[in-house]
Structure 1
Amino acid sequence: MEEKMNINDLLEELYAYSMFSIRLGLDNIKEICKYLGNPEKSYKVIHITGTNGKGSVSTTVERILLDAGYKVGKYTSPHILKFNERIIFNDKYISDENVAKYYERVKKIIDEHNIQATFFEVTTAMMFDYFKDMKADYVILEAGMGGRYDATNVCDNIVSVITNVSLEHTEYLGDTIYKIAKEKAGIIKNCPYTIFADNNPDVKKAIEEATDKYVNVLEKYRDSTYSLDFNTFTTNILINGNKYEYSLFGDYQYKNFLCAYEVVKYLGIDENIIKEAVKKVIWQCRFEVYSKNPLVIFDGAHNLAGVEELIKIVKQHFSKDEVTILVSILKDKDRVSMFRKLNEISSNIVLTSIPDNPRASTAKELYDYVENKKDFEYEEDPIKAYNLALSKKRKLTICCGSFYILIKLKEGLNG
């Protein structure tokens, strides 16, 4: 009898599909799903795309639906510490055994039919099949990139969400907000209800061209208010006299909350369930309080829009000389602008590298992009850089710039 593949060997084989890189298109995933028996038709799908906020919205909707008693699947990317985080059913990561089981099913199909699948197509097919077997009521899908040609876009959504649109992945999605919004609006198809949170007229135009069944929550809830509580690190939101203590913290989380709120209101979820559920949402590396004493925040801000939102929060409560930042930024990001922005909230910024990542720069290379060098220093080793940042003994230390650096820090610090 053939020996079962070790999970690490299996994942190594799975990651090797990345050699086919990013190839946008639906032919592969449709073919794989056909041979699997079209598992993606087995449940109600909530499809979420957008430049920032997908994870916060999907996790909030997930928590509320779980508390309402439904069986819920969630598909998200990238993972922070382990692959299993991408595929979650009823708040539990897929097991190693099921990763192996569903990988073998998909691998058999792509081998038999000579399908040149990418990593994301393989994992998406695994997810569809797994959630069918788990008998999910709802499945929340985060698009990997864009929307129209993303591998997740083979479902008939009951709700589509476009959180917001900024310039990103321009080599694949287009070089204007309108073009990118058109790609993201590709998830809508015949969906009965589309929700978005962006006042850019180009975004609205792209959505209007796809559907007339939409709502901009920033308009619908324009009379609602919010405040940030820096003692509890919660976002307190007031809508039509109802108060919600949202456990995800930040100005930008207000918009994410409105998207999630509109989804579950559309699905008819009870108001009291919503109020209790939003107190319990956990989403790592999104203004996550990693340590209270000393105060250390892990934030996944990895592009200019994310950094601007981070800055907005920090400026409200901390002066420039009270903040140290540890940061590493991937090569395909606007490093000069991001460093310039981070320098607005900190006079002490430590640059570091992300080991074993081909998209990463060395700390020294990052330093070469810095304009105001007196406020910056660099250390190649992430853990040494973290200790260097803490040694400044400032009121707040922020670690940001890429989920990948946060992964390395968590792995190193948590042993």
Structure 2
Amino acid sequence: MNIDQLLDELYSYSMHGIKLGLENIEKICKELGNPEKSYKIIHIAGTNGKGSTATTLETILLEAGYRVGKYTSPHILKFNERIRMNGKDISDEEIAYYYDEVKKAIAKAGVKPTFFEVTTAMMFKYFQDKKADYVVLETGMGGRFDATNVVDAELCIITNVTLDHTEYLGDTIYKIAKEKAGIIKDTPKVIVADRNPEFLKAIYEENAHVVNVLDKYANRKWSLDFNNFVTKIEIGDEIYNFSLFGEYQVKNFLCAYEAAVELGIDKAAIKKVSEKTVWQCRFERYSSNPLVVLDGAHNPDGMTELKKVVEKGFSPDEVVAIVSILKDKDRKRILEILRPVTSNIIFTSLAENPRGTVGEEIYELIDNKRGCSVENDIVKAFEQAKNMNKKIILICGSFYLLSKFKEEING
């Protein structure tokens, strides 16, 4: 079986749907010898910012000399990105080996797992065999009944909560926060970056030691350097040139910073690492001439943060956006947020995705159609955008769009 066939088989577990609960993963892990107990865990939940925070902390821990695993989702270009050891993606050969190991465990356990449960089990065993010191572990969705929550964490980070996945997690901030707070358990310290009263009520009900970085570092200063595209963050007498760009990245940096300080990592190492953290598709500069920026903003909160960055550095007449948004997202609200920062939007297609659609359907959702057009061929849409000679080409609305763009433009 080649890797494409193997991944097709692995993805077929998605047909089992999303099933929140720990019984399956507990049984599989038991058959594997409970590999999740072999290393220290930093467990990260939240609606937005999990990936940026996880990657920043991963890079800090590596700089400090630890063997570090990281588990995130979704992937952008290939499955391998989800499972990284010492800064490198898992190889195709390793995917094949650990998938086979987990399939044997599934057969012995007699369960019907979901795609996420299978990949989580693969990750746990892989990091055990790689002798990880720390694993930076991102929840898939929620927390309490997320497949990752069979671990006992050294430290928990809950970045924030907005209304997302309401059909599974609840229809209020408090209910969703309660689900995400389920990762806390006996963790001695929880780091958060949100001041919403309903969020905080849910977190404090877990009786943990909570550090809200927005309060602890209330005197922080920050600015966006549009020449070098770094976020300058001042904490006390120290200035950190954070390579992830945007106002929202300040909170993510503070979460990773506080976790690193709690783990006893030298601030000089944190400063050094802040300049070389890489996390694709979060205000990622794909090219400089022309300036092309990829951002996965796919919900109202994410688009709001992207809007804040763009409007600080560019006027609407300097921006053209190439956009597609999945059908199950709040498309009309996302477009309302984006519209004021760009005078031109080219709507393109993600019709090959079961949750996607053609550009014409999204075009009909926008109220102000002036300067808007449809080009379902993404390569042609990109050529059209370049011919407008704007200061910045912004590609946003879905991680699937960014993946398609990279594949087709690079291909």
Which TM-score band (shorter chain)? over 0.9
Please point out which of 256, 275, 282 is paired with 2:278. 282
Counterparts of 1:374-413 in structure 2, within 5 Å, are 374-413=370-409
Deviations 1:243-285 (A, max 9, x none): 1111110000000000000000000001111110111100010
Amino acid at match of 1:292: S
1:63 aligns with 2:55: no
2:370 aligns to what SS in structure 1? helix
For 2:334, the equivalent position in structure 1 comes to 338
Q: Is the 8 A contact 1:40 1:128 kept in 2?
A: yes
Q: Is the 8 A contact 2:44 2:156 kept in 1?
A: yes
Q: Is the 8 A contact 1:354 1:382 kept in 2?
A: no
Q: CA deviation at 1:41?
A: 0.4
For 2:160, the equivalent position in structure 1 comes to 164
Q: CA deviation at 1:110?
A: 1.3
For 1:29, the equivalent position in structure 2 comes to 25
1:166 aligns to what SS in structure 2? coil
Report the Cα distance in structure 2 between the residues aligned to 1:393 and 1:96, rounded to whole angstroms: 41
Q: Is the 8 A contact 2:27 2:109 kept in 1?
A: no
Deviations 1:77-102 (A, max 9, x none): 11111111000000011111110010
* Runs of 5+ consecutive residues of structure 1 not aligned to the other structure: none
Q: CA deviation at 1:389?
A: 1.8
For 1:323, the equivalent position in structure 2 comes to 319
1:189 aligns with 2:185: yes
Q: CA deviation at 1:294?
A: 0.6
Deviations 1:42-86 (A, max 9, x none): 000000011111110000000000000000000011111111100
For 2:304, the equivalent position in structure 1 comes to 308
Q: CA deviation at 1:376?
A: 1.6
For 1:126, the equivalent position in structure 2 comes to 122
Comparing 354-363 and 310-319, the one that deviates more: 354-363
1:157 aligns to what SS in structure 2? coil
Q: Is the 8 A contact 2:177 2:202 kept in 1?
A: yes
2:222 aligns to what SS in structure 1? strand
1:86 aligns with 2:82: yes
Q: Which ranges of 4 or more aligned residues in structure 1 deviate by more than 2 Å?
A: 111-114
Amino acid at match of 2:168: Y
Report the Cα distance in structure 1 between the residues aligned to 2:198 and 2:68, rounded to whole angstroms: 33
For 2:197, the equivalent position in structure 1 comes to 201
Report the Cα distance in structure 1 between the residues aligned to 2:25 and 2:377, rounded to whole angstroms: 39
Deviations 1:198-218 (A, max 9, x none): 010111100000123111100
For 2:350, the equivalent position in structure 1 comes to 354
1:150 aligns with 2:146: yes
Amino acid at match of 1:393: N
Q: CA deviation at 1:138?
A: 0.1
Q: Is the 8 A contact 2:184 2:208 kept in 1?
A: no
Q: CA deviation at 1:194?
A: 0.2
Amino acid at match of 2:263: L
2:154 aligns to what SS in structure 1? strand
For 1:77, the equivalent position in structure 2 comes to 73
How many percent of aligned residue pairs carry the same amino acid? 60
2:296 aligns to what SS in structure 1? coil
Q: CA deviation at 1:355?
A: 4.3
TM-score (norm 1): 0.98
For 1:234, the equivalent position in structure 2 comes to 230
TM-score (norm 2): 0.99
Q: Is the 8 A contact 1:144 1:150 kept in 2?
A: yes
Report the Cα distance in structure 2 between the residues aligned to 1:384 and 1:279, rounded to whole angstroms: 35
Amino acid at match of 1:29: I
Aligned residues: 411
2:224 aligns to what SS in structure 1? strand
1:14 aligns with 2:23: no
Amino acid at match of 1:52: N
For 2:215, the equivalent position in structure 1 comes to 219
Report the Cα distance in structure 1 between the residues aligned to 2:338 and 2:64, rounded to whole angstroms: 40
Amino acid at match of 1:184: K
2:383 aligns to what SS in structure 1? helix
Q: Is the 8 A contact 2:351 2:357 kept in 1?
A: no
> What root-mean-square deviation, in Å, do the aligned CA atoms of Structure 1 and Structure 2 show?
0.8
Amino acid at match of 2:194: D
1:104 aligns with 2:97: no
Report the Cα distance in structure 2 between the residues aligned to 1:189 and 1:361, rounded to whole angstroms: 41
Amino acid at match of 2:377: D
2:176 aligns to what SS in structure 1? helix
2:260 aligns to what SS in structure 1? helix
Report the Cα distance in structure 1 between the residues aligned to 2:212 and 2:41, rounded to whole angstroms: 20
Report the Cα distance in structure 1 between the residues aligned to 2:393 and 2:48, rounded to whole angstroms: 23
